[in-house]
Amino acid sequence: ISGLATIDIVPMRAVGSSFTLGDDRYVPIFDVNNVFQEQGSLTWTRGTHNIKTGASLIRRQLNYYQNTFGLAYFRFTQDELTDLENFLKGTPDEIQRQINPKRQYFRFWEPALYVQDDWHAKSWLTLNLGLRWDHFSPITAAQGERSNFDPVLAAACTPSDCNPFRVGATAGVKSYWTNFEPRFGFAVTPRAGFVVRGGFGMSRYAQDYASGSMNLYNPPFVPLNLDCFPQTGTGASACPAGSGKLFQGAPPVTIPVINNQLPGTVGAHATDYPQAYIMQWNTTIQKQFGANVVSVGYVGQVARHLQYAPNINIPPPSQAGPGVYNPRVFAGVMPNLASINYYTATGASEYNAAQLSFERRYAKGLTANVNYTFARNLTNISDGGTTGAATVGGILPN
């Protein structure tokens, strides 16, 4: 029945049947994504130059709102003899409700400029020269409702006065305006049947919108939760006053107080979070022997500022012996906090490869292609694949 709270009648054992009335969980839901894009380009050819320039502007909107049990959830499961009786009397065994009072309206700006020149400098030499500029704005809350756990503020807290959250539209995450990306390429043909090609390029990428940069749902903008049991062993209700019966409807929920007793986990994102970039370069030498072509090449790639999210609240290793554990890092000021995945831009990777190729182009009814690559890849953010990765204190070694 749409529009009603969720009502479950489920026997404790297999005897009997069960049924549900009302809306299921995770309603209502509001999820609207918009992308607005404007772009333009200009091409100018003069002599041996072919120049292209352009600009683009992307505006992204991510509007999201959802409650787990916004209309409340009433459960009747005491036993197979009294569950239906309790339903008829309107006395549930458990009541749950979650309300998200803040709607997540995120905004992103992505302007870009570029210029490129394809220059036929000589009959045997072609150059490609380019430069691009990108800006990726931090994820911004349209209503300024983001909250970021700051480990520096947490370390300076006292147990009686602790509020380690940066609140605002960007939650303290900085903007970077110097994202220049050069591009260069060349092709040299010193004589017939012999070619040398190479190039270098740099590209930057926006934050991962689906990761920790989006998950800054910290106090005071967290969903409000209530889970109470109207029927207790003493006969007294554990629910707020004026609730606990089906006819009384959904019980009220309270806003949690920001103090050192906050439970569970929190979202944490480094305020210094530059955009990830990749630099790629390659060189290839090709020589033709009749219908056969032999290629020898080298490919390299370096990536920096990749996303890495270590748990910064893990207990440090103990030297006291087996069975003795140190407290979590922030246990002194916020003892109930568990894992804190701190999203940073400290990941890195490197890739180098030698490539050898033999190609027999179609001749006399035969064509063939043989390739060999010898490569090495190093990174400090790998998940270890199927064999696992060595970790120390939850942090992957470089």
Residue 86, Cβ neighbours under 10 Å: how many? 20
8 A C-beta contact, residue 170 and residue 239: no
8 A C-beta contact, residue 49 and residue 118: yes
d(CA 104, CA 118): 45
**Plot region of 380 (φ>0 → left; ψ -120 to 50 → alpha; else → beta):** alpha
d(CA 294, CA 195): 11
d(CA 141, CA 61): 10
8 A C-beta contact, residue 367 and residue 194: no
Q: Is 20 exposed, middle or buried (0-12, 13-18, 19+ CB in 10 A)?
A: middle
In the chain, CATH 2.40.170.20 sits at: 32-60+104-222+266-379
Cα dist from 255 to 258, 340, 353, whole Å:
9, 22, 56
8 A C-beta contact, residue 110 and residue 136: yes
d(CA 203, CA 131): 10
Q: Pick the closest to residue 27 from 53, 51, 52, 4 (CA basis).
A: 4
Helix/strand/coil for 318: coil
pLDDT digits (tens, 9 = 90+) for 129-171: 999 999 999 888 888 778 888 888 888 887 777 788 888 888 8
pLDDT digits (tens, 9 = 90+) for 116-125: 999 999 999 9
Strand partners, 298: 283, 354
pTM (2 d.p.): 0.76
Fold of 32-60+104-222+266-379: Maltoporin; Chain A (2.40.170)
d(CA 379, CA 208): 18
Burial state string for 94-116 with b = 16 or more CB within 10 A and e = fewer than 16? bbbbbbbebebbbbbebebebeb
Phi and psi at 269, nearest 5°, equal: -140, 130
The pLDDT profile of the chain, 398 residues, written as one tens digit per residue, is 445 566 666 544 444 445 555 555 666 677 788 999 999 999 999 999 999 999 999 999 988 777 677 777 777 775 656 667 777 778 787 777 777 767 778 888 999 999 999 999 999 999 999 999 999 998 888 887 788 888 888 888 877 777 888 888 888 889 999 999 999 999 999 998 899 999 999 999 887 655 555 667 677 777 667 777 776 555 566 777 777 787 887 777 766 666 566 667 788 888 898 999 999 999 999 999 988 999 999 999 999 999 888 889 888 877 766 777 788 888 888 888 888 888 888 999 999 999 999 999 887 788 899 999 999 999 988 654 444 444 444 444 43
Distance of alpha carbon 322 from the chain centroid: 36
